[in-house]
Structure 1
């Protein structure tokens, strides 16, 4: 009688291939990791982000993707609990062309293509989600916005299954609304969880609920579905590559973003000077 509990020859071959890949991925992650402005970040291209995410999804591993920009660095010292989110992240994108430019002053070989954010890897992501039939849960946005974004995305990528929930709920740990939401996410069993409730609310929600979330790839993505729904207009990607996306956004919403782009960076001067001293500049 055959032992049905024993792995098949095909399963054994898959496991051998996976075992060969694991040390390679660990070596790559070590090479990608840098420290900039005193914080850990990863120099990865958008396509490399998808490489890591696709591998994690195929192996059913939890994979937390964070991002750093000047705003997040400013918030780190002023937001209790935020550092715990970055400590748990498996990958930390550099979502800032100015940070990439500054890295070269410290001797780190950052390039323009290392700037990563949702809009940079969006087409690649949705093509993969469409091809592999990923289940994608998006949490965030005003009522109706994410639903419209999902409708548009579904028309373009019918192979992906998309579920949404707006960001207007009692997010306190232990609240009844939060418990219902966690049950909804668990029942959907997503391959990908996008959380877009603005920084730092989205990061704090993720780290506070991480143990209760299903095993999947988790991203903090800000206004990603606002762009998809047409509620906000994304800057042309050439502006992002030139480091001018902040100017586009500031012009579009000066009242909300003036302090972020014109005041907060001044508070990062001590971090920058510390990096330059360490680099012997």
Structure 2
């Protein structure tokens, strides 16, 4: 199966189906996911995070809406469901300072959320990471949220699944550090008019290269993948 077909199949997968691992694709992560196609095979559901990519998928007939793991989209739904159904949740990602601030923010907003634990997203070596994954599988959190950036967060979820964990896992990109100082990261103006990308460049200038270089490159690869798939079909 071609890469673009894999992505489309996972975008179209119904939410009521058997889903354990969920990730999100934006123009930058599209480039990274192309490099780990075998890992993508293990992901159950993909949402499109990024208004530009939403429009591109719609142009090729894929009906989708923007969804991301943050407070403007899926995160509140997941947190409230955890409380409602008495599920435990674990967070992995970002730096010690950021995730501690994040946990403080989340605990203040969702006082009944059962946070089973958390840790930063950095490991000294493969052995340390695998040891943590094995321990996490034994702890058995119902929900895991991982913010390590693509492709590391997807590979982490798949490794955890292969270690015997049977919970529900979400990637979240920069959500943890974005929420380390307050529950609402995006100002209403930028969120309302789909200018989240602009706000991120203002707030994190290091991302300018990603938006101005890698996003156009991603569009080229997207068009290439679609044409290749259409011609082969």
Q: TM-score, normalised by structure 1?
A: 0.68
Matches within 5 A, 1:1-281: 39-40=7-8, 41-42=10-11, 52=16, 63-77=20-34, 79=35, 82-110=36-64, 114-119=65-70, 120-162=73-115, 163-172=117-126, 175=127, 177-230=128-181, 234-236=185-187, 239-240=190-191, 242-254=193-205, 256-267=206-217, 268-272=219-223, 275=226, 278=230
Contact 2:141 2:167 in 1 (8 A): yes
Structure 1 residues 71 and 37, CA gap change in structure 2 (3 angstroms): farther
Structure 1 gaps of 5+ residues are 1-34, 57-61
The CA deviation string for residues 91-113 of structure 1, in whole angstroms up to 9 with x for no partner, is: 11111211111223223344xxx
Of the two structures, which has the highest relative contact order with CA contacts closer than 8 Å and spacing of 6 or more?
Answer: 2
Q: Which has the larger radius of gyration?
A: 1
Q: Secondary structure at the match of 1:159?
A: coil
Deviation of residue 248 (structure 1)?
A: 0.9
Deviation of residue 204 (structure 1)?
A: 2.5
The CA deviation string for residues 37-63 of structure 1, in whole angstroms up to 9 with x for no partner, is: 88334158xxx85xx4xx86xxxxx70
Q: Secondary structure at the match of 1:168?
A: coil
Contact 2:23 2:46 in 1 (8 A): yes
Q: Secondary structure at the match of 1:118?
A: coil
Structure 2 gaps of 5+ residues are none
Q: TM-score, normalised by structure 2?
A: 0.81
Q: Secondary structure at the match of 1:194?
A: strand
Question: What is the RMSD computed on CA atoms of the aligned residues?
Answer: 3.0
The CA deviation string for residues 107-139 of structure 1, in whole angstroms up to 9 with x for no partner, is: 3344xxx11111211222211111222111111
Deviation of residue 263 (structure 1)?
A: 0.7
